[in-house]
Structure 1
């Protein structure tokens, strides 16, 4: 008799489990499938997305979001072509893309201020752009790099022609700066924080400290014009979930870091935690809400790009971004 009852109980448990799994599969199938493409490998710029995924914020909005790596095509191209509904870009690349009729729009600023700048080992005594004279810069060969370095040096009446440029691609910053170059363009939230953990002292010249026009939004969340016109409710739902994710990361940096580490286990957990502590207050910073963008910021950087002959055609800043889909 005991064996009979044990068999009955096990059968009921298995049936219940199967039913739950069936309900879960059905629920998942009913969610709208969304593809989101990153700009790079996962890092703390992206934490709010992984929080929204882990905490079920996307599910609550009826979305099943797949977070993808960009591959060779790049996030802007994938979003513009509709092969991903949303992605990550930066104001500098989106501005150039818009002048080439690439129909992507920024729908939220991940960071309120530009946290990038030129970094060098402290022992090299590069304390201002004037000290770039006679030094070697390692970058990725984009025209904007020379333009920014030249504009910063001109402000200090330094000779920009005395900088040597090396295309170092994806080479490791720490290896390159010890062996091949004197300074490079980094995002402090990742490479700068890693230097702190390694006990390496850096000198930094943040772009925003030298020009308001260079305090642009990097990175931003994008979608394409067709998505906005055809599926505005989906865009609203997506941004509600993403905003909750970043707000959670602002208030709970340690837990948010753990969520990112779980989603991307190849990352150095100590670096993720330290970077998250550094960057979390900067997501919203002095804005009234996370994601907010200002027309003056879009205008200012476009004016700088135009002055430095970096735009191929007319740029209309009002068409490049919107705050419409941010939660009120």
Structure 2
């Protein structure tokens, strides 16, 4: 571990160099199919922010937040938008291969208990004695035991109905279940698509709001890119942050950016998705203090213990092994207004 920390310090010193990468090609993978929450990446490309840093970035759609880690480990991608918790799991078993988070975007997880506003679920504790829909194998379902531990829920009293994620909202609306375990940024748009108002007709009980101290998606890079091209990593983060801050100030920019890539996308709905994500996943007392991209290292250490316990990991990765702030732009350039 000491060797790793010394290496990380050396990287930080290298990354502080004003020299930029020149024509460095970077393959970047998203976490899922194109959505409004990916607008900042395309905006950075369309407005030449990557090019300004000497980078030639190719952006591909993804297959899941955890899959970003496996794609990077395989060598097919250099960087991507994916889940911190998947990094932690990998670092516990393959520390020499696990990607490193260099820009944390979601300081709250997107997992939520979805309930009807006029239904019987008023707090997550009310799940006891109720029937709950959960996508088989989804992270929202897999994280339920950790939520139960943090919120003092007796899971033996909760009936979990394994269903396809595509019908979770319908089952709740039809009264087949009392609640659903969802990704809030997806469920929010699904509800609108069903002709209902997610703000008035439903309540989202975020796992983070219910005491589960875990992070979620951000920008991760391969250890190879970190070691061999630290200036490229710094440039990548700088370009993405530049676009992120512009989209936070004006979400319509993100909607327009994805519309340019996929003309058939419903731009107005994707702007709503972006606004929801900025408010519920990216904005918190922590992000106001540390800026977009930053983390509270003590909280990260606690979240690692949550993931270790949940997945019975063989080792406990250090917070410095899964995240580094060495490549972040100055706080003034990442501060939420």
Q: Name the TM-score, length of structure 2 as normaliser.
A: 0.78
Question: Residue by residue, what CA displacement relative to the aligned partner does 1:282-324 show, whole Å, maximum 9, x if unpaired?
Answer: 6464144321122122111122234445423232222110111
Aligned to 2:120: 125
Question: Residue by residue, what CA displacement relative to the aligned partner does 1:51-88 show, whole Å, maximum 9, x if unpaired?
Answer: 10111111111212111123499211111222101012
Q: Does 1:159 align with 2:154?
A: yes
Decide which of 36, 53, 56 is 2:48's aligned counterpart. 56
1:36/1:176 Cα in 2 relative to 1: closer, same or farther (>3 Å)?
farther
**Structure 2: stretches of 5+ with no match in the other structure:** 1-21, 331-337
**Structure 1: stretches of 5+ with no match in the other structure:** 1-29
Aligned counterparts, 1:26-105, within 5 A:
31-71=23-63, 74-101=67-94, 102-105=97-100
Residues paired across the two proteins, number: 294
Aligned counterparts, 1:176-187, within 5 A:
176-179=171-174, 180-187=176-183
Aligned counterparts, 1:186-225, within 5 A:
186-192=182-188, 194-195=190-191, 198-200=195-197, 201-211=201-211, 214-225=212-223
1:312/1:82 Cα in 2 relative to 1: closer, same or farther (>3 Å)?
same
Decide which of 135, 141, 146 is 1:139's aligned counterpart. 135
Q: Distance in 1 between matches of 2:171 and 2:32?
A: 20
Q: Distance in 2 between matches of 1:83 and 1:226?
A: 12
> Is the helix fraction higher in 1 or 2?
1
- Any conservation in 1 of the 2:98–2:222 contact (CA below 8 Å)? yes
Q: Distance in 2 between matches of 1:113 and 1:173?
A: 22
Aligned to 1:250: 248
Decide which of 304, 307, 318 is 1:305's aligned counterpart. 307
Q: Distance in 2 between matches of 1:310 and 1:177?
A: 32
1:50/1:76 Cα in 2 relative to 1: closer, same or farther (>3 Å)?
same
Aligned counterparts, 1:226-305, within 5 A:
226-280=224-278, 283=282, 285-305=287-307
- Any conservation in 2 of the 1:51–1:248 contact (CA below 8 Å)? no
Q: Distance in 1 between matches of 2:181 and 2:255?
A: 25
1:46/1:79 Cα in 2 relative to 1: closer, same or farther (>3 Å)?
same
